[in-house]
Amino acid sequence: MSACVPTRHNRTSRSSRPPRASGVKRPHSPPPPRGGRFRIAGADLSASITVFLLAVPMSLGLAVAMDAPLEAGLISAAIGGIVAGLLGGTPLQVSGPSAGLTVVTAELIQIYGWRTTCAITIGAGLLQILLGSLRAARSALAVSPAIVHGTLAGIGVAIALAQLHIVLGGSPQSSAVANALALPDQLGRVSPAAPLIGTLTITVLILWPRIPGRVGRSVRRVPAALAAVVTATAVAAIVAPGIARVDLPSWRSHALPEMPHGPVLALATAVFTVMLVASLESLLAAVAVDKLSADRAAEQTAARPGAGSASPPTSATPALALALPSGTSAPAASLALPARRSDLDRELRAQGIANTLSGLVGGLAVSGGAVRSSANVRAGATGRASTVLHGVWVLLATGLLVTVLEWIPLAALAALVMMVGIQMVSFAHIRNVHKHREFLVYGATITGVVLFGVLKGVAIGIAVAVTVALHRLARTRITVTDQGGRHLVVVRGQLTFLAVPLLSRTLGQLPQGGDAVVELDGFFMDHAAYEAIQGWSTAQTAHGGRVVFTGRSGGRIAEPASAAHSCCRPWTPWRNHHCHDEPGRAPETNHDLDPGAGPGPDLGKRSTGTGRIRRATHTGSAGSTDRDANRPADHPADRPASHDASHDMTIDSPGNAPTPAPEAPRLAGGNRLISGLSSFQRNTAPLVRDELARLAVEGQSPSQLFITCADSRLVTSMITASGPGDLFTVRNIGNLVPLPDAESGDHSVGAAIEYAVDVLKVESITICGHSGCGAMQALLGGEPDREAPPTSLWRWLRHGLPSLERMASRHHAWARISGRLPADALEQLCLTNVVQQLDHLRAHESVARRLAEGTIRLHGMYFHVGEAQTYLLTEGASSGLELDEVFDRVDPGDAPGSSELERTGV
């Protein structure tokens, strides 16, 4: 009978993925909308007011920057909030006039006029609807981040240069280059009023979020942009009454779109440019909103009682700083907000509908805005009601607050937009692209956008990115060093057919029959390069030489010679997918790289942590590979990066994602055992023979006794990263520790405990339970019929009855997992059983004596199979103190000694 019942937590296999027609949403798609009417929470109402107070000056400022009718900015803000808010796939994203389209729209208005620009906006909206319906939103994010951020940074530079002229009291020129060239002349005839108001606006924008103390916490509830514009308006009314101000014309003179006039190709290019920039800005903002929402949810979860202290405020991109200060706290109503991911195709369609309507009524092009969206999230919005209400408030203000809006100085709005443009040049993005060696692409895109416009700048960025990629692919450096009778050949870069002449010439200069070490530092080798190395290595071996292939760290790498004909999966021997020979085929020959082992290099046999080589088969299944002796057999780095139809060789990096091969036919139990033993003798035994020989001479001295369940899914050496000689392991059904006076008929566990504690002198004992334990499930199901003779299984399971009684008792607190409650009664019993068995362990005389001496530690551990996640019982509970029995999550970044299981690496 199986010890444990399988659970259904593994959602990674392709066979278990739900079909598209099943209605189950895939990543970046929110759950199906709940039925019911449109609900307005109190947090949404307050957040909508905050966003409205930010959106009005921003919309007017962008209209001024584009030289568009001022009421057009308010129209697009209202439509973006209401239409995109109701229909979009990102409920918390706030749409309005596009900052990224400032330069493009200004140029279109200058060339074609306002009414044709509105028609272009309609065309861009219709194109967005089409692309969203074709589910192309995700493809738009496939563009290199260096190009996207470079485009936005170039637009930001152009915006800042144009608005600087208005801050100085002048008028912007037609292009960024013209604005830069005209700055000296503008500085020579500057008037004092506009620069002073602009400087005051910028000062308030910068200092407002930094006001300290209780007063600062109170005033920071008002957006910095609104505070800056109000302050500048009040000061201008007193000291500069004659300064240029907002002039909202009568709605009777509002211009609607007309049929576009001009060259068809130029108009099509304009439509495509508006669509591209607006879509990229909206989609990037949607992804940023997802991150902000997730970070906010994590903060609020951590801040709840019993969940520990709150995390520090989340960081946002610099462009989000104007939205809402980081010290502003969200209302409590937002605690219930789940971190949902955006439906980007739906969002793109909604943006297209909003742009179409905005163009029809004479508004600016619409896109999702990072500044407005950040303010919405940080103000505590819980749903799309906040976005929609903000649009309603803008619409009301357009008709009721005209007189108030006309007091705002143009210099204040220009300074506000200029700061937005400056902050679009993000130093965080610059650091990232520099770290990934993409700064050339980033710089070329910025330069192209500033000098030639958005579309040409993007084209230049793409061309430079392709050139850089080709250069890296073709660049290969080969050096040879004589190490006293042995030559070290270091190959840096990718080995393609372009490098074969240099490779062949270098290898041909080495003496025939000599020893050589070939260090391969790259991640790809094509067929031509593979054949060149294979032929040279075969010739060297035939003349009595020795060739060793290594990765960058120096570890040997090789591949079984029969890999091209192997039908096994490369992530063996886990999940019983052992490598095995095809029926009727001759056994494999082990072509080691030692002298006399046979001709040809065994590329791929032994792997290193930084790279390894394997050769794909023509059948589509990858060849088998042997792994590093210090790494578990199914380490992610041992999974294939690709399956190619050619005999290409691929050097994998640790971060490559696995691509499982087709299932190999499973062998019968006996054949599987023989095949596994043969594989061990062929591949693994040579790697561990020296270590096992040392242990055979010195004897075992494990530091820890590990008591766990017999479940086949618990691979103790894997989850503890341990090797031979590290753990003294006892496995039984249910990881039970019988009490000393209740062991009639079974003394194996007690004997193992005494031997480990008194003879081996272990330093700690760990009891490890796991999710979905069949023994605990049997206990929950109740005892069998008492009239029937007791089975061996139930005679053993009686040692787990105290765990069941402990869970039902009111004198003991329920065991918990940090951050969440147990999923069901089975998981609760699995956790409680670990705590109860620790109590049984303390009852053993040898353990009690060592505990009194302070020379041994006890640990409780829980392994969630479906999550591949370990949890450790808090130290107080492990020691038997009356504290909360909480299992804390072990994270990848935890220090090796933090869990005090140093030897196991838990």
Structural contact between residues 465 and 144, judged by C-beta atoms closer than 8 angstroms: yes
51 to 72, 98, 375: CA distances (angstroms): 18, 16, 6
Q: Which helix (H) or strand (E) holds 536?
A: helix 527-542
pLDDT value at 308 more than 80:
no
Q: What are phi and psi of 613, to 5 degrees?
A: -120, 140
The CA distance from 279 to 287, in Å, is 12
DSSP 484: S
pLDDT of residue 886: 84
Structural contact between residues 525 and 613, judged by C-beta atoms closer than 8 angstroms: yes
pLDDT value at 900 more than 50:
no
pLDDT of residue 893: 65
pLDDT of residue 197: 92
More confident residue, 603 or 256: 256
pLDDT value at 107 more than 70:
yes
The helices-and-strands tally (H runs, E runs) of the chain is 32, 16
Burial 566-580 (b: 16+ CB within 10 A, else e): bbbbbbbbeeebbbb
pLDDT of residue 351: 94
Burial 852-881 (b: 16+ CB within 10 A, else e): eeeebbbbbbbbbbeeeebbbbbbebbeee
pLDDT of residue 654: 36
pLDDT band at 792 (very low <50, low <70, confident <90, very high): confident
pLDDT of residue 303: 57
The count of C-alpha atoms lying within 13 angstroms of the C-alpha of 148, restricted to the half-sphere facing its C-beta, is 17
DSSP 771: T
Q: Which of 232-246, 289-303, 450-464, 578-592 has the lowest mean pLDDT?
A: 578-592
pLDDT of residue 221: 78
Burial 723-732 (b: 16+ CB within 10 A, else e): bebbbbbbeb
pLDDT value at 736 more than 50:
yes
Q: Strand 515-521 relative to strand 524-525: parallel, antiparallel, unpaired?
A: unpaired
Which residues, including other chains, have CB under 8 Å from residue 811's CB and lie 6 or more apart? Answer: none
pLDDT band at 4 (very low <50, low <70, confident <90, very high): very low
DSSP 82: I
Average pLDDT, the chain: 75
pLDDT value at 862 more than 80:
yes
pLDDT value at 348 more than 80:
yes
Structural contact between residues 144 and 170, judged by C-beta atoms closer than 8 angstroms: no
Q: Which of 207-216, 543-552, 612-621 has the lowest mean pLDDT?
A: 612-621
pLDDT of residue 776: 92
Q: Which of 153-162, 602-611, 658-667, 747-756 has the lowest mean pLDDT?
A: 602-611
pLDDT value at 627 more than 60:
no
pLDDT value at 835 more than 70:
yes
pLDDT of residue 604: 38
Neighbours of 656 (CB within 10 A): 16
pLDDT of residue 743: 55
The CA distance from 190 to 199, in Å, is 14
Helix (H, G, I), strand (E, B) or coil at 705: strand
**Averaged pLDDT for residues 2-8:** 39
Q: 167 is written with which tokens?
A: 């801050």
Q: Strand 649-651 relative to strand 613-615: parallel, antiparallel, unpaired?
A: antiparallel
The CA distance from 875 to 869, in Å, is 19
> What confidence tens digit (pLDDT) does each residue in 132-191 have?
999 888 776 667 778 878 887 888 888 888 889 888 888 887 778 888 888 888 888 888
Which residues, including other chains, have CB under 8 Å from residue 282's CB and lie 6 or more apart? Answer: 93, 95, 347, 348, 351, 367, 368
The CA distance from 410 to 416, in Å, is 10
The CA distance from 833 to 241, in Å, is 79
Q: What are phi and psi of 231, to 5 degrees?
A: -60, -45
pLDDT band at 482 (very low <50, low <70, confident <90, very high): confident
Please, what is the Cα angle at 426 between 347 and 100, to 5 degrees? 45
Q: Which of 269-283, 374-388, 565-579, 708-722 has the lowest mean pLDDT?
A: 565-579
Percentage, residues of the chain above pLDDT 70: 73
Percentage, residues of the chain above pLDDT 90: 20
Spatial CA neighbour of 362 closest among 21, 112, 76: 76
pLDDT band at 502 (very low <50, low <70, confident <90, very high): confident
- Residue 551 CB-density burial (10 A; 0-12 exposed, 13-18 middle, 19+ buried): buried
The CA distance from 388 to 411, in Å, is 30
Helix (H, G, I), strand (E, B) or coil at 850: helix
Please, what is the Cα angle at 503 between 559 and 487, to 5 degrees? 75
574 to 419, 771, 862: CA distances (angstroms): 56, 19, 21
Neighbours of 693 (CB within 10 A): 10
What is the residue-wise DSSP string for 594-663? STTS-SS--TTSS--SS--EEEB-TTSSBPP----TTS-TT-GGGS-S---SS--EEE--TTPPP-PPPP
More confident residue, 649 or 302: 302
Which residues, including other chains, have CB under 8 Å from residue 92's CB and lie 6 or more apart? Answer: 289, 292, 293, 373, 376, 377, 381, 383, 384, 386, 387
pLDDT of residue 186: 85
Structural contact between residues 191 and 169, judged by C-beta atoms closer than 8 angstroms: yes
Q: Which of 225-239, 284-298, 562-576 has the lowest mean pLDDT?
A: 562-576
pLDDT band at 250 (very low <50, low <70, confident <90, very high): low
pLDDT of residue 563: 38
Structural contact between residues 555 and 628, judged by C-beta atoms closer than 8 angstroms: yes
pLDDT of residue 668: 57
Structural contact between residues 816 and 822, judged by C-beta atoms closer than 8 angstroms: yes
pLDDT value at 388 more than 80:
yes
The CA distance from 863 to 768, in Å, is 7
The CA distance from 465 to 444, in Å, is 9
407 to 41, 63, 237, 243, 401: CA distances (angstroms): 33, 16, 8, 10, 11
> What confidence tens digit (pLDDT) does each residue in 429-474 have?
888 888 888 899 999 999 998 888 777 888 898 899 888 888 877 7
The CA distance from 304 to 310, in Å, is 8
The CA distance from 470 to 492, in Å, is 15
Burial 320-330 (b: 16+ CB within 10 A, else e): bbbbbbeebbb
The CA distance from 884 to 887, in Å, is 9
**Averaged pLDDT for residues 91-101:** 86
Helix (H, G, I), strand (E, B) or coil at 881: coil
Q: What are phi and psi of 728, to 5 degrees?
A: -100, 105
pLDDT of residue 542: 85
Site of tokens 């303390």: 842
**Averaged pLDDT for residues 880-898:** 68
Spatial CA neighbour of 561 closest among 616, 606, 603: 603
**Averaged pLDDT for residues 506-535:** 85
Which of 261-265, 496-500, 844-848 is predicted most confidently? 844-848
The CA distance from 222 to 51, in Å, is 10
The CA distance from 48 to 44, in Å, is 6
Say what angle helices 264-303 and 145-167 make with each other, to 10 degrees: 100
The CA distance from 799 to 804, in Å, is 10
SS3 helix, strand, coil % of the chain, rounded to 5?
50, 10, 40
User: Facing residues of 707 across strands?
Assistant: 730, 767
Spatial CA neighbour of 346 closest among 135, 97, 94, 35: 135
> What confidence tens digit (pLDDT) does each residue in 587-617 have?
333 333 333 333 344 443 333 333 333 333 3
User: Facing residues of 40 across strands?
Assistant: none
One-letter amino acid at 729 equals T
Tell if the pTM clears 0.85, that is, is over it: no
Q: Which of 57-71, 549-563, 772-786, 864-878 has the lowest mean pLDDT?
A: 549-563
545 to 502, 593, 600: CA distances (angstroms): 22, 10, 11
Which residues, including other chains, have CB under 8 Å from residue 539's CB and lie 6 or more apart? Answer: 512
pLDDT band at 809 (very low <50, low <70, confident <90, very high): confident
Helix (H, G, I), strand (E, B) or coil at 676: helix
Which of 61-65, 121-125, 291-295, 653-657 is predicted most confidently? 121-125
pLDDT value at 326 more than 50:
no
pLDDT band at 894 (very low <50, low <70, confident <90, very high): low
pLDDT band at 200 (very low <50, low <70, confident <90, very high): very high
